[in-house]
């Protein structure tokens, strides 16, 4: 409840009490008899009431079912929107980066100056060396202006402070270097892997490396014993630290499947993203994120993840780097190539790799996308696939047959994606966060 609403209700109640007290006053004072309310005057009664009635001891009636107190998941039945605008003809090579190793160094402090002042009337006016300026800090700030870590450099160095000058002129301190990172970035120590900061709030800042202090000039060392100091300090060097920056979540759903299962084609069909599409395996080496628009203004992110092969948890293929991307998706969409000899075996391998990498990773909200249904004999393979699901107690998985190449049945997929978001967006996945 906002402060303005609280004070509006407070003022309205005070005014109503004032009118009530005014009525009592007109009825209380008759023929010199003391007021029935027990107060000597109206002012005394109102003052006592105001002393007892404060915002702290007044209890407002707040609905227990309000969104601020309790949120109940419900289906919105929103409809996905399809953009009629054609995609850009230009190829922009902007990769989505969810992990970055960063070496951060603070700025060095400026050196102090050794100098003696000479005036026309006083050729030995004493030491006049100024102090050096402080080096700039390096600060990470959580911002909504960036969604990826691709703009964060691998080596970051803060600005250096200026050196001291003659006539007691101190060098200017350097400005702090602020690096924007997406909200939800995890900062870990590169040596120990320990979590240092969880930047889960907008505007949160983390001091990555301190700048060095500026050195003192020779004027600082002037004393009664040493009237002509010929010594000054060198500016301190800035801190050097190494961190791992990781995104807590990269998308609401991730497309998981074997190489050449049609994941990039599917992402290109449901969003305006332009992933690289080719007929050879491991075309996608880095995640590509696309946005899906709905009629209620909601935008959901879906990620095309690199292809998975058997024994990926043993670091085969893209290995651990690939599986780390899946760990940062709330929902998992298994993209199965229905033209393969045994589609169900693909599903078993995918689920086993996720479970071997991290326990309960395969138990997240999932859907099975049966792709390439435009090819021959895929209908029969789909029936066999569904029968094997029932035989292995996996009948609760929703199977959506689509053709990403021709755009068949994509609406059903996007509607089910929104249903998963409506039901699970309030859930707290402890293994993710």
Percent of the chain clearing pLDDT 90 (strictly above) = 19
Distances (CA, A) of 194 to 188, 190, 244: 5, 8, 10
- Please tell me the predicted confidence (pLDDT) of residue 99: 84
Beta bridge partners of 205: 141
Q: For residue 187, what pLDDT is reported? A: 92
Task: Kindly state the tokens that stand for 423.
Answer: 């039901």
Q: What is the pLDDT of residue 25?
A: 46
**Which pLDDT does position 430 carry in this prediction?**
36
Residue 104 has what pLDDT? 95
Give start and end residues of each alpha helix (H) in 95-210: none
pLDDT digits (tens, 9 = 90+) for 163-185: 999 888 999 999 999 999 988 88
pLDDT for 73 equals: 63
Rounded Cα distance between 34 and 365, Å, is 74
The pTM score is: 0.64
Which letter, b or e, does each residue of 61-94 get, where b requires 16 or more Cβ atoms within 10 Å of its Cβ?
A: eeeeeeeeeeeeeeeeebebeeeeeeeeeeeeee
Tell which phi-psi region holds residue 148, choosing left (phi > 0), alpha (psi between -120 and 50) or beta.
beta
Give the model's confidence band at 198: pLDDT under 50 very low, under 70 low, under 90 confident, else very high.
Answer: confident
Q: What is the pLDDT of residue 158?
A: 93
**Tell me, what's the pLDDT at 341?**
84
* 3-class SS of residue 343: helix
Q: Average the pLDDT over each of 58-72, 115-129, 200-214, 394-408 and give the range with the smallest value.
A: 58-72
Using 50, 70 and 90 to split pLDDT, how confident is the model at 431? very low
pLDDT for the residue 102: 94
Report the pLDDT averaged over residues 316-337: 74
pLDDT interval class at 60 (50, 70, 90): very low
For residue 64, pLDDT beyond 80: no
Per-residue model confidence as pLDDT tens digits over 395-424: 888 888 988 888 888 888 888 888 888 887
150-to-98, 156, 159, 241 alpha-carbon distances in Å: 8, 14, 22, 20
Asked if residue 220 has pLDDT above 70, the reply is yes
Q: Between these two residues, 338 and 305, which has the higher pLDDT value?
A: 338
Domains of the chain: 3-52 (no CATH), 97-248 (2.70.210.12), 251-424 (3.40.50.300)
At which residue do the structure tokens 């998706």 appear? 329
Cβ atoms of residues 401 and 409 within 8 Å? yes
Pairing of strands 366-371, 399-401: parallel
Classify residue 273 as exposed, middle or buried by CB count within 10 Å of its CB (0-12, 13-18, 19+). buried
pLDDT in tens, 9-56: 656 666 565 555 555 444 444 334 344 444 454 455 545 554 554 444
The whole-number pLDDT of residue 10 equals: 58
Residue pair 405/397 in contact (Cβ under 8 Å)? The answer is: no
pLDDT at residue 37 in the model = 44
Segment (H or E) for 337: strand 329-337
Mean model confidence pLDDT for the chain: 78
Do residues 161 and 135 make contact, with C-beta atoms less than 8 angstroms apart?
yes
Predicted pLDDT of residue 103? 94
Q: What is the mean pLDDT of residues 188-210?
A: 90
Least confident of 13-27, 72-86, 101-115, 394-408: 13-27
pLDDT digits (tens, 9 = 90+) for 121-167: 878 888 989 999 999 999 999 988 888 888 889 999 999 999 999 88
pLDDT at 111: 92
């Amino acid at each position: 409840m906002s402060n303005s609403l609280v004070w509006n209700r407070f003022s309205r109640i005070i005014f109503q009490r004032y009118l009530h007290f005014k009525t009592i006053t007109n009825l209380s004072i008759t023929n010199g008899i003391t007021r029935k309310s027990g107060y000597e005057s109206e002012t005394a009664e109102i003052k006592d009431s105001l002393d007892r009635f404060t915002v702290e001891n007044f209890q407002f009636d707040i609905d227990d079912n309000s969104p601020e107190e309790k949120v109940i998941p419900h289906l919105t039945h929103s409809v996905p929107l399809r953009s009629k605008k054609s995609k850009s003809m230009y190829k922009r090579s902007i990769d989505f980066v969810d992990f970055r190793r960063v070496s951060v160094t603070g700025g060095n402090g400026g050196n102090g100056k050794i100098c003696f002042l000479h005036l026309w009337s006083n050729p030995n006016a004493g030491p006049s060396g100024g102090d050096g300026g402080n080096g700039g800090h390096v600060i990470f700030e959580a911002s909504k202006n960036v969604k990826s870590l691709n703009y964060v450099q691998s080596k970051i160095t803060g600005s250096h402070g200026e050196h001291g000058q003659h006539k007691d002129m101190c060098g200017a301190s350097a400005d702090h270097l602020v690096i924007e990172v997406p909200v939800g970035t995890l900062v870990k120590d590169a040596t120990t892997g320990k979590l240092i900061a969880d930047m889960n709030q907008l505007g949160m800042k983390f001091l990555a490396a301190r700048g060095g202090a500026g050195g003192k000039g020779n004027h600082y060392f002037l004393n009664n014993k040493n009237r002509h100091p010929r010594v000054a300090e060198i500016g301190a060097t800035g801190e050097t630290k190494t961190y791992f920056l990781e995104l807590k979540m990269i998308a609401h759903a991730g497309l998981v499947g074997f190489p050449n299962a049609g994941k990039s084609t599917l992402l290109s069909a449901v969003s305006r993203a332009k992933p690289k599409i080719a007929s050879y395996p491991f075309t996608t080496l880095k995640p590509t994120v696309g946005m899906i628009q709905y009629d209620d203004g909601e935008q959901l992110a879906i990620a095309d993840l690199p292809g998975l092969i058997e024994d990926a948890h043993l670091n085969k293929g893209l290995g651990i780097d690939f599986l780390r991307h899946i760990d940062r998706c709330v929902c998992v969409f298994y993209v199965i190539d229905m033209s393969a000899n045994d589609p169900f075996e693909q599903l078993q391998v995918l689920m086993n790799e996720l479970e071997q990498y991290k326990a309960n990773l395969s138990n997240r909200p999932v859907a099975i996308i049966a792709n390439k249904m435009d090819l021959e004999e895929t209908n029969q393979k789909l029936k066999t696939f569904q029968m094997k699901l029932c035989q292995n107690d996996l009948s609760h998985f929703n199977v959506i047959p689509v053709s990403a190449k021709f755009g068949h049945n994509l609406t059903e997929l996007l509607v089910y994606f929104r249903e998963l978001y409506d039901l699970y967006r309030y859930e707290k996945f402890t293994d993710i966060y």
